[in-house]
Amino acid sequence: MKINCLMTILNVLLFIAAVTAEAEERFEAAAMIDHIDFVHVTAPDGTAMFDTETPQGNNAILDYVSGTGANTILWRVSSGATVRYRSREESMPPVRAPFDKRRLPDNRHTWGWVRYYEAEPDILRYVVRECAKRDMSAGAHWPFEETHWWSHTFGAWNLEHPQFWGMTADGLPWSGRCSLTYPEVVAHRLRLVDEMIDRGVRRFFIDTWRTGGWSPAYEYVAPEIRRWKARYECEPPADATDPRWCAFVAESTHAWFAALRQHLDSNGGDMKLMLGVADIDMTPGARDMTLIERGIDWRCLVKEGIVDTLVVMSVDWDKKRPFESTREIYQAVMNYCDGHCRVLFPVSMYNFTKKGLPEYHRTTGLSLPDVTSVMVRMAWEQGADGIAMECVDYNNYSAATMKTLRQLFQGPCKFKRMAKSKNRVKERTEKTR
């Protein structure tokens, strides 16, 4: 009787220990999806495989992307500043060509005729719900200040408010973007955030790689110049790549991110802010290209706990030591972030930076599936919270690569390498706001 009692107590204690032990966390496999890239995919008989303005078409995209084993979808919510859902904020003047004479039409076959902003059901709302049904996390992939290098992506609110347009050092306004230094512009962006929240978005991935034309060169607006002069008592440098100017502009972009953070927190719930940064070089003294070309100090945003997740989109690895140098950069990033935020490392078929999977493949001679395996495992081994795939288009990750990814995410990389200690990730609730 006594022994039975002791055994029961022991079992109860073990059970309690098991329950209270920290649960294993899933290793995140985030897939960036730009659904417009699926428009021209055809079956052998010539029919379109993905009508991206319809629920069926977007479902088919999600089915396809699931083949990578992705458990997070980051859905592109805009082409430049023209949004891809039915937006009240961006409804006047009409975005559809040719209803605004200031916006030249997109003349591409089919691409130039999609009307995501008029689609029913609302694309973003639909995709978020679908992801929930599939037990996938859904987020908005929102490029930072993007124009995509074409004037047909200039936003409606943007065109209607020239008084907030960016300005060059020689006094030329640029209609591509309104400056974030103006509170009215920040308020407009936050209204866009509200529209996305209303559609169920809880994760906001701000991609600072995709600026499509914007840079600190367009921040010579009156409020910034006044602010500069008040501080330095001289004219701002005419060279927009001057580190002092870029750091100065970064203060304003920082204010935007801080306002966004506060806005997300005030909406309650589990809102997450993810920041995408490219060309990371952690070598001491190296030029921070995100600061110079985008006027964003990502390091500061991380240290201040403004971002929940740092999405590393590419790193400046050494071609003579591809994997070794990548590993070193990953270690440096993890050391720097040090629990201030989660970290996702890249497994990217996009190769604009010449640092993606194709470049590793060319440099090492390994097959793409093998390179992919190395990169996923490396991220996992370094203690990252996951990886990000940029972007998953049709067939850019080959069938063999997709199989490799699936096997990893369902097998050895299903959970993070180590459970986070309670102090490793500073939870939102621990911070005073």
Partner 1 sequence: MRLSLIAVLYLLVFSGCRTLPPCWCRVSEISAVTDGRGNDTEVVWSPDGKSIAFQTDRYDKLRVCVLNLDDGKREIADAGTGDACYPAWTPDGGLIYAVDQRYGTAVEDAPSGDKACSGCGLRLLENGVERVLTQGYWRDYTPVVSSDGKTVYYTSTRNHQLPPGVRDNPLNSSMNGASIWRLNLVPDNSERTPECVYEVFARSFGSVQPSLSPDGRTMVWAQIQGFRQNWRLCAAQLASPYNFIHLTPPEMSAYAPRISPDGRFIAFTGFMPGDPSWGVYVQHALSGGIARLDTGPGNSKSPCWSPDGRELIYENNRSGFYKIYRARIDLREPAAFMPAAGCVEAGLTGSTIAARLQNVGALPVLKAAKGEVTQGRKMSEGGWSFRQPGDMVLGKEPFFVKVRVVIDELPEKGTQVIAMGVYREHPLGWQLYLRENGHLTFGSRDARGDFVGVQADAPADTGRALSVLAFRDAEGLLKMAVDGRLQHACGIGPADIGLHHCENILLEQDAAGKRVLKGRVVEFECGQGYPASLPRITRKRLFAGEMQ
Tell me whether residue 239 or residue 324 sits nearer to partner 1 (CB atom): 239
Which of 22, 170, 233, 270 binds partner 1 (CB under 8 A)? It is 170
- Is 402 strand, coil or helix? helix
Which of 1, 2, 44, 171 binds partner 1 (CB under 8 A)? It is 171
Which of 163, 262, 283, 335 binds partner 1 (CB under 8 A)? It is 163
In total, the chain counts a number of residues equal to: 433
Q: Between residue 204 and residue 223, which ones bind partner 1 under the rule CB under 8 A? A: 213
Distance CA 127, CA 302 (A): 29
Q: Between residue 53 and residue 92, which ones bind partner 1 under the rule CB under 8 A? A: 53-54, 57, 92
Distance CA 424, CA 431 (A): 14
Q: Between residue 222 and residue 281, which ones bind partner 1 under the rule CB under 8 A? A: none
Tell me the number of residues near partner 1 by CB under 8 A.
48
* Least spacing, CB of residue 267 vs partner 1, in Å: 27
Neighbours of 347 (CB within 10 A): 28
Rule CB under 8 A: say whether 339 interacts with partner 1. no
Applying CB under 8 A, the span of 49-57, 251-259, 281-289, 357-365 interacting with partner 1 comes to 49-57
Tell me whether residue 82 or residue 326 sits nearer to partner 1 (CB atom): 82
* Least spacing, CB of residue 304 vs partner 1, in Å: 33
End-to-end CA distance of the chain: 55
DSSP character at residue 94: -
> Burial, 36: exposed, middle or buried (Cβ in 10 Å; 0-12, 13-18, 19+)?
middle
* Least spacing, CB of residue 356 vs partner 1, in Å: 19
Residue listed under structure tokens 């499509």: 212
Distance CA 152, CA 141 (A): 20
Which of 25, 26, 40, 300 binds partner 1 (CB under 8 A)? It is 40
Tell me whether residue 67 or residue 93 sits nearer to partner 1 (CB atom): 93
Tell me whether residue 115 or residue 229 sits nearer to partner 1 (CB atom): 115
Rule CB under 8 A: say whether 175 interacts with partner 1. yes
Question: In sequence order, what DSSP letters do the residues of 50-81 get, joined into one string?
Answer: --TTSHHHHHHHHHHHHTTT-SEEEEE-EETT
Distance CA 274, CA 252 (A): 18
Q: What share of the chain is helix, strand, coil (3-state, %, to 5)?
A: 40, 15, 45
Q: Between residue 20 and residue 39, which ones bind partner 1 under the rule CB under 8 A? A: 39
Contact assessment for residue 235 and residue 229, using Cβ atoms and an 8 Å cutoff: yes
Q: Between residue 133 and residue 162, which ones bind partner 1 under the rule CB under 8 A? A: 147, 149-152, 160-162
* H or E stretch at 82: strand 82-83
Closest CA to 106 of 59, 152, 60: 152
Tokens read off for 45 = 């008989």
User: Looking at this protein, which amino acid is placed at residue 333?
Assistant: V
Closest CA to 260 of 324, 205, 186: 186
Residues 115-134: x where in contact with partner 1 by CB under 8 A, - otherwise, as a string: x---x---------------
Q: Between residue 370 and residue 389, which ones bind partner 1 under the rule CB under 8 A? A: none
Tell me whether residue 69 or residue 176 sits nearer to partner 1 (CB atom): 176
Tell me whether residue 106 or residue 242 sits nearer to partner 1 (CB atom): 106
Residues 97-116: x where in contact with partner 1 by CB under 8 A, - otherwise, as a string: xxx-xx-xxxxxxxxxxxx-
Rule CB under 8 A: say whether 176 interacts with partner 1. yes
* Least spacing, CB of residue 355 vs partner 1, in Å: 23
Tell me whether residue 152 or residue 189 sits nearer to partner 1 (CB atom): 152
Tell me whether residue 163 or residue 262 sits nearer to partner 1 (CB atom): 163
* Least spacing, CB of residue 246 vs partner 1, in Å: 16
Question: In sequence order, what DSSP letters do the residues of 293-346 get, joined into one string?
Answer: HH---HHHHHHTT--SEEEE--B---TTSHHHHHHHHHHHHHHHHTTSSEEEEE
| Radius of gyration over every alpha carbon of the chain, rounded to an integer in angstroms | 23
Q: State phi, psi for 343 to the nearest 5 degrees.
A: -135, 130
Q: Under the rule (CB under 8 A), what is the footprint of partner 1?
A: 39-40, 48, 51-54, 57, 92-94, 96-99, 101-102, 104-115, 119, 147, 149-152, 160-163, 167, 170-176, 213
